[in-house]
Structure 1
Amino acid sequence: MQGKPVVSLVVPFYNEGATIEMFFDAITSAIDNIDAVEFEIVCIDDGSKDDTLARLLAVSRSDSRVRVIELSRNFGKEAALTAGLDAAIGDAVIPMDADLQDPPELLVQMIDRWRQGADVVLARRTDRHGDSMAKRGTANLFYRIHNRVSHVEIPSNVGDFRLMNRASVDALKRLPERQRFMKGMFAWIGFRTEVVDYMRPARASGTSKFTGWKLWNFALEGFTSFSSVPLRIWTYIGLCGTLLTLSYLAFIVIRTIIYGIDVPGYASLLVSILFLGSLQLLSIGILGEYIGRIYMESKQRPLYVVRQTYGDNHES
């Protein structure tokens, strides 16, 4: 790999055995036509329960560019992606998914932009017809809300698929948090950034591992990782509630002085108690999200555990 710059492709796998042959056929077809750089393909098996690892090892034995990192269990995509970034040795690193929704033919454009001076090259989805209408709508809503409340703006319709030079990868590796929201971390480091657009195809095989519940928790992770606005909002809600209460108290006192004492209604009292109680529980839940993050960070556990690495004389 000496003499030419090296580009590392970082690909997490979790139960993707059915797509591996198609993925490597597409990848090798794309990179074999790029002569300006050398490639390594860092594959992370994130505790797959199917034959993903066996298929990856078979590929690594036939292609010296392929390295396989086997994690000791399923740690999640963010941790697997971090493991790949830590292991990549390239002058530039490109994280991508194994489902071929990140088209390999886009690699040549990204590498050209990097060689022309860009530190980071983002792949932006202009057409997400491969995703459901609900997923497209909720994704757009997430980006709008997150960018309004956070001090770090995440580019809309940009996922993990991007090229990062060595300086930006090293900067990312310096971020120590255990609860990782990679989209926000990618945006936080900055660097000179360019964008290439593409149409996002449907998955080559299988189904997404992100259920609606996981996507909701992922969105909460994004909000709490890069913004304290949810906490500040409840300060203002409490202030408004106090002012309304004092105003209502003044109204009751004045009305009592003028009209005398009456018997208040049970329904209005019950609604007021339930409403204020619900607000308190919701605010406690938001506080719990942030306290939970502090708790997880304070343990200082490693993000992932590598069981074994394979390929390119790195077996251990």
Structure 2
Amino acid sequence: MKPVFSIIAPVFNECETLPELVRRVGAVMDGLGEPWELLLVDDGSSDGSTEKIRELAAQDERIRPVIFARNFGHQIAVTAGLDYSRGDAVVIIDSDLQDPPEVIADLVAKWREGYEVVYAIRAEREGESWFKLFTASLFYRLIARITDVKIPLDTGDFRLMDRRVVNVLNTMRERDRFLRGMSAWVGFRQIGVPYKRAPRFAGSTKYPFRKMLKLALNAITGFSYFPLQVATFVGFIAAGLSILMIPVVIIMRAITSTQFLGQASTLVAVLFLGGVQLICLGILGEYIGRIYDEVKGRPLYIVREAPQDRE
């Protein structure tokens, strides 16, 4: 029977959490009274999660494993789940149980009202450091200011999307993905549902600062030209200051001011302009590197094993 709901949970070294995730998702979805499936996308786990996924799938045919050949990253794992999902509505949820499965019922209720994207808003966040809370808040507000796409504040990937939205997303195959931005970009009727984010059920975070920074760069470069515009502004400012300093230097030299004797002032100016140029080259390099990745045309992921049937 074709499922009405597909739940996608990317998995990376979450062996301890998986049985509880399956139990809680099953309890919620059975309560909705419609056919469902749970896609567990193993993103190159090394802690026994792969074997645990196979074991759980053998116990319940509604659990569909998608096993990667290696680690490709969280956003790519979610993309694979979207590719293999078959439901009329698709829910993305983290496998660490920080996103409570019980909230899915609230998302479904809004979908049944006619909304096509229902995103979960993190009204409260337990078990997270002040640094994580501060940087997350700063990122959401920064991305809201510099992009033309209205990305909801304080939201992650936890959301429900109608099949029409998923079909559009499945045509967007860029490599450096920021799915919460992509789902906002496609439009359709959207609404948020607040919820209280829980601490991890077990284990440690799989999203350290390095991965958070990479995701932020993908969001900024994928939805904004602002860094390139900043480089242009800085260049004009540096050039303007240089032009203004030319008559000042000439006058000071003419009156033999000791402030401009020697090479110190020249060295400072050269180092400043050199730093500006290197920063601008770095910004250009970020965009060019992403173009380079796109033109190679490699697949987004490689699957070791997966269900034969897909949407």
Tell me what 1:100 maps to: 97
1:118-152: per-residue Cα shift (whole Å, max 9, x none)?
Answer: 11111111001222110010011111111111111
Asked if 1:90 is matched to 2:90, the reply is no
- Which of 74, 77, 81 is the matching residue for 1:77? 74
Q: Secondary structure at the match of 1:48?
A: coil
- Which of 107, 129, 134 is the matching residue for 2:131? 134
The CA distance in 1 between the partners of 2:256 and 2:13, in whole Å, is: 73
- Which of 259, 264, 285 is the matching residue for 1:288? 285
1:252-291 matches, within 5 Å, as 252-257=249-254, 259-260=255-256, 263-291=260-288
Task: Tell me the CA shift for residue 285 of structure 1.
Answer: 0.7
Asked if 1:303 is matched to 2:300, the reply is yes
Tell me what 2:7 maps to: 9
TM-score by length of 2: 0.95
Asked if 1:60 is matched to 2:57, the reply is yes
Task: Tell me the CA shift for residue 265 of structure 1.
Answer: 4.4
The CA distance in 2 between the partners of 1:230 and 1:185, in whole Å, is: 19
Unaligned runs of 5+ in 2: none
1:26-53: per-residue Cα shift (whole Å, max 9, x none)?
Answer: 1112122111x21111111111112111
1:194-213 matches, within 5 Å, as 194-213=191-210
Task: Tell me the CA shift for residue 264 of structure 1.
Answer: 2.3
Per mean C-alpha deviation after superposition, the further-off stretch among 81-90 and 173-182 is 173-182
Q: Secondary structure at the match of 1:49?
A: coil
1:104-253 matches, within 5 Å, as 104-253=101-250
The number of equivalent residue pairs is: 309
Task: Tell me the CA shift for residue 180 of structure 1.
Answer: 1.2
Tell me what 1:26 maps to: 24
Task: Tell me the CA shift for residue 260 of structure 1.
Answer: 5.0
Task: Tell me the CA shift for residue 244 of structure 1.
Answer: 1.1
1:228-277: per-residue Cα shift (whole Å, max 9, x none)?
Answer: 111111111111111111111022234445x2576524333322222221
1:51-77: per-residue Cα shift (whole Å, max 9, x none)?
Answer: 111111111111121110111111111
Q: Alignment identity in percent?
A: 42
The amino acid that maps onto 1:43 is L
The CA distance in 2 between the partners of 1:251 and 1:12, in whole Å, is: 61
Backbone CA RMSD of aligned residues = 1.7
The amino acid that maps onto 2:192 is V
The CA distance in 2 between the partners of 1:266 and 1:128, in whole Å, is: 55
The CA distance in 2 between the partners of 1:237 and 1:28, in whole Å, is: 54
Task: Tell me the CA shift for residue 91 of structure 1.
Answer: 0.3
The amino acid that maps onto 1:76 is G
Q: Tell me, yes or no, if the aligned pair for 2:235 and 2:276 is still in contact at 8 Å.
A: no
Q: Tell me, yes or no, if the aligned pair for 1:125 and 1:200 is still in contact at 8 Å.
A: yes
The amino acid that maps onto 1:13 is V
The CA distance in 1 between the partners of 2:137 and 2:150, in whole Å, is: 13
TM-score by length of 1: 0.93
Q: Tell me, yes or no, if the aligned pair for 1:178 and 1:301 is still in contact at 8 Å.
A: no
